[in-house]
Structure formats: C-alpha cells, structure tokens
Amino acid sequence: MATNDSSTLDWHKCEKYFQCATMTLPIDYQDASIGTFDMAVIRFRDANQHDRLGSLVVNPGGPGVSGIEYALNAQYVIDPDVLDRYDIVGFDPRGIGKSSPIH
C-alpha cells in the first residue's frame, strides 16, 4: 500500500479563527496510477497551545456531509472543556464541499 510521505500541511488562515490546508491523496492506494484528488482540511487551534493535549479529527458521517462545516460549528457541538485542550480538525471527503470530485 502506498502512503503519503508528507507529514506536514501548508496551513493558512481562513475563516475567522481557523486554518485551512489541502491534502493531495491517491484515489486508490492500491493503484496510484489512477490519479489523485485534493481533500480540503480545516482546523481550529486552541489559543493556549502549551496546555494542548492533541488534535481531534471530526467526521459527522454521511455520506455527503461536510466535516469542514461540522468543524466550523465545533463551538456549538463540542464541550468547551474539550475545545480548551484539543485542536479540532475537520475534512471534506472526496467530492463533498471544498474537496475535489473524482472523474
């Protein structure tokens, strides 16, 4: 199975208090020759990074549901104590929201 060798993303400021990035991923990890797609990722970083415990990746399920929209609304659906200690990361699955479709 092929893997993405990049362990960092090029985060940039987007939306108020959020950072965005794009990951280029293979359509099929078993056959990389098929091509790639871009997956949009967003994160809310806790302002108090020295007390940070890690990151939580949120995925509201679906199919067809935007994880970016879910992360943008984290303050309404995630306990404030969790938001104080973890960065919240959301993504749009392929073909949803800001991620590219597969042709």
How confident is the model at residue 7, as a pLDDT? 61
d(Cα 99, Cα 59) in Å, to the nearest integer? Answer: 14
Best CA proximity match to 101, nearest among 40, 41, 38, 59: 38
How confident is the model at residue 55, as a pLDDT? 92
Tokens representing 81? 């104590």
Domain boundaries, the chain: 12-91
Tokens representing 13? 């400021």
Residue 47 neighbours by CB distance under 10 Å: 9
Q: Please say whether the beta carbons of 74 and 85 come within 8 A.
A: no
Q: Mind listing the pLDDT tens digit of every residue in the chain (103 residues)? A: 445 555 689 999 998 889 999 999 999 999 989 999 999 999 998 777 788 899 999 998 878 889 999 999 999 999 999 998 999 999 998 888 788 887 7
d(Cα 9, Cα 18) in Å, to the nearest integer? Answer: 14
Contacts of 29 (CB under 8 A, 6+ apart): 1, 2, 3
Model's pTM, two decimal places?
0.81
Q: What's the N-to-C CA distance of the chain in angstroms?
A: 22
